[in-house]
Structure 1
Amino acid sequence: MTCIRIKEIDANNINEVRKISVKKYQRFFIETVDECLEEAAIYKQWCPVAIYDYDEIVGFAMYGAFGKNPDTWIDRIIIDEKYQGKGFGKLAMKELIKIVTEKYNVITVYLSFVEGNDVARKLYENLGFNFTGDYDPEGELIYKFNLTEDFK
């Protein structure tokens, strides 16, 4: 049984969060935690967070909202290599969707990922995200999720 919790990054957990890494072949698909934290320091709209299973840090995510009528993004999600394949990504995404839709009072959430990252594509599509037909400036596929009452 798991208990996924999303917590802010602070002095108590920053060192553990910085140790999160993906498998070697996945490094092409996503930035490191340090690169994400650097970006969040520049763009204050980003909210970097730690993903916990009970009291154990299992991953990292970053979300935010941009613009006058904010587009809300779950921009990064990284499950540490030793915790992959155990369902933490799916559970964390569900929790993140709940957090961002409530925090920003929106029903639409966006994300993007590198084409060829089939594990991410499968996860996102299983959660109800759909390809918009658009690509971000780095060429990543943009996916969109619309909250419905039956989202679980």
Structure 2
Amino acid sequence: MQIELRPVTNENWEACCALELTTEQQGFLEPNVYSIAQAGFEPALVMRAIYAADELVGFLMYNTEREELDGYWIYRLMVDRRHQGSGIGREAMRLLLVEMQQLPKVACIVVGYHLDNQVAHRLYERLGFVDYGDRFGKEMAVRYTF
């Protein structure tokens, strides 16, 4: 399956807002409409729509400025509930890591997620993110280093 990351635009932002998580996942992420609004006020945030074979299936957002742990942070990754479990999230993250390697002086990518989100934990672990024990409230942060 061909996975692509495309910009969030006037043509697809509403469809990004309509993407859904499973009931169990809804407490783990902010709604996409919140993320899109946040990016409107924080110019360092970059949004991407995840497409599989020209169908919008997910959303992600990352920061282009270094933050805590001296890393660039991935703020959001979500795949619509109807498309989960097919490797889309893993492939989207691989593409995102390639894109983020182009950021200035990148050495570390950080992603935070809810402590109870075992699906996210397994995904990031498989991709090579390492848990060094960093915690921010109800979230843990894991790091990917180049």
Q: What is the CA RMSD across the aligned residues, in angstroms? A: 1.7
**What are the superposed Cα offsets for residues 116-140 of structure 1, whole Å, 9 maximum, x if unpaired?**
100100000010001121112x431
SS in 2 for 1:121: helix
Letter matched to residue 58 of structure 1 = V
Q: Which runs of 5+ in 1 are unaligned?
A: 148-152
Deviation at 1:104, TM superposition (A): 3.7
Alignment of 1:3-152 (within 5 A): 3-67=2-66, 71-136=71-136, 138-147=137-146
The list of structure 1 runs, each at least 4 consecutive aligned residues, that deviate by more than 2 angstroms after superposition, is: 65-68
SS in 2 for 1:106: coil
Instruction: Provide Cα deviations, 1:79-101, integer angstroms capped at 9, x if missing partner.
Output: 00000011101000100111111
Supply the AA of the counterpart residue of 2:129. F
TM-score (norm 2): 0.92
Deviation at 1:145, TM superposition (A): 0.3
| Superposition deviation, residue 22 in structure 1 | 0.3
Amino acid at match of 1:6: L
Give the Cα separation in 2 of the matches to 1:12 and 1:37: 13
How many residue pairs align between the two structures? Answer: 145
Pick closer, same or farther for the CA change 1:28–1:38 going to 2, 3 Å: same
Contact 1:72 1:104 in 2 (8 A): no
Deviation at 1:71, TM superposition (A): 2.5
Report the TM-score, using the length of structure 1 for normalisation.
Answer: 0.89
Residues 17 and 33, structure 1, Cα contact 8 Å, conserved in 2: yes
Q: SS of the counterpart of 1:86?
A: coil
Q: Name the CA distance, whole Å, in 2 between partners of 1:67 and 1:94.
A: 20
Does the Cα contact within 8 Å between 1:114 and 1:139 map onto a contact in 2? yes
